[in-house]
Structures are given as C-alpha cells and as structure tokens.
Amino acid sequence: MAEQYFARKPKSARRPGVFHVEARGHAFTFLTDAGVFSRGGLDRGSEILLEALDVGPSELILDLGCGYGVLGVVASRLSKGGHVILTDVNERAVALARKNLEANRVTNAEVRRGDLYESVSGMRFDHIVCNPPLRAGRPVVDRIIEEAPVHLLEGGRLWLVARTRQGAESLRNRMIQAFTSAVVVKRGSGYKVVCATKAAKETPSA
C-alpha cells in the first residue's frame, strides 16, 4: 500500500536498495527499503525543494517527516556549523535515516522518532523543511502548517513542496492563514516550493 510510508510500523516485505545522487554540488549515497517514501530514488518534489532551500551557517534545521533522510542529510551539508534534527513516525524510515547519516559521514545531525512535532516539543528552529505526506490526509498536512510557527524562531521559515495539480495553491493559502504571507519560491516539473516566514515581534515604541 502506498500509504505505508507514513505508518508507524510498515508491514510490507523488505526490499533494501541503494542509490547515489548529486545535490547542491555534493555527492550522496542513500539506503532505502520498501515501506518508505520514494524508495527507488530522489523524487522530483524533494529535488526541487533542495534546489530552492536557502539556509545559512550555524542554523538549526528540522526535517519533518524525513523518510530515509534526503532533505536532512543535504541540509546538513548546506549549513556549516549548523545542526539538523530529522524526525519521522515510521520506524523503518528512522532506522534508514540513521544509517544514511553514517553512510554520508554526517556528524551535525540526529534522528528522532515521533509523530510530527512530538519529538521536538519545546524546540524552535531557523528552518522547517518538509515534503508533506498529502496522502495522509488534510488534517495531517494542516497540523504541519498550523503548528509550525510555534516551532520557529522569529524570522524562521517553513519550506513545503507540492504538485500544482495536488493542491499546491491551496497549501499556500493555508500557509498564509498561519503566517500572514507565503511565497512560491520555485516551480518546475509540475511542482511548487512554498516558503513562509515567521514575522519578528514588533518592538514597543518608547
């Protein structure tokens, strides 16, 4: 079943795989398996999201719903001196993500298992990056958006990607409701990358 990638314990038979890919000028190796999203290789949505992702040095980044860890692993290379936390509810994905940190010699990241923001309760990030599980249903995607501001620092950004035909504009409108504004920062191959920034609090005038 396609929806197994967001199940806690996938029941599909194991089909271990590996692929190599270049992203943002770096070469990566990823171990995959059945029961996780896009086991056959880097999906186009994540690829476009990574092309658009703009992170700086020494930033704290959350890869939400990390799968086998593509976004988090690449982000760890883009933020020198930063730290990345990868989370997923799928125990098979979590195990793979940990192996992929090792396979790519990533030392500035960690993997936690939990449902959405459960395992990072009380933490705030410079960036939240997510290829949202649209097949999990609107309530799940709405939670990703609505709870994001609480987990972002002032000026922090939420980065999402979706197919234009699968409601990317609806996604952007929901981000506007949560953040006041949201911008399409990249589009291609039928996808849109949408970014929303948490506004800084206004300083009271003297």
Residue 39, domain CATH: 3.40.50.150
Element (H, E) at 93: helix 91-103
Q: CB–CB of 120/112 below 8 Å?
A: yes
Would residue 51 count as lying in a domain? yes
Neighbour-count burial for 28-66, b at 16+ CB within 10 Å, e otherwise: bebbbbbbbbbbeebbebbbbbbebbebeeebbbbbbbb
pLDDT cut 90: percent of the chain above it: 82
Separation CA 72–CA 55 (nearest Å): 12
Report the candidate in 197, 148, 145 with the shortest Cα–Cα distance to residue 167.
145
Structure tokens at 2: 């396609």
Question: Is residue 38 one of the residues assigned to a domain?
Answer: yes
Range of the domain at 166: 2-197
State the total domains in the chain. Answer: 1
184 backbone φψ class: left, alpha, beta (φ>0; ψ -120 to 50): beta
Q: Which two tokens stand for residue 147?
A: 């709870």
The residue that leads in pLDDT, 1 or 202, is 202
In a domain, 204, yes or no: no
Over range 39-56, report the average pLDDT.
95
What letter would DSSP give residue 95?
H
Residue 205 located in a structural domain: no
pLDDT for residue 96 is more than 60: yes
Distance of alpha carbon 52 from alpha carbon 197, whole angstroms: 15
> Does the residue 206 lie in any domain?
no
3-class DSSP state for residue 24?
coil
What pTM did the predictor assign? Answer: 0.93
pLDDT tens by residue, 110-155: 999 999 999 999 999 999 999 998 877 889 999 999 999 999 999 9
Q: What's the CA angle centered on 6, arms 146 and 147, to 5 degrees?
A: 10
Residue 11 confidence (pLDDT): 79
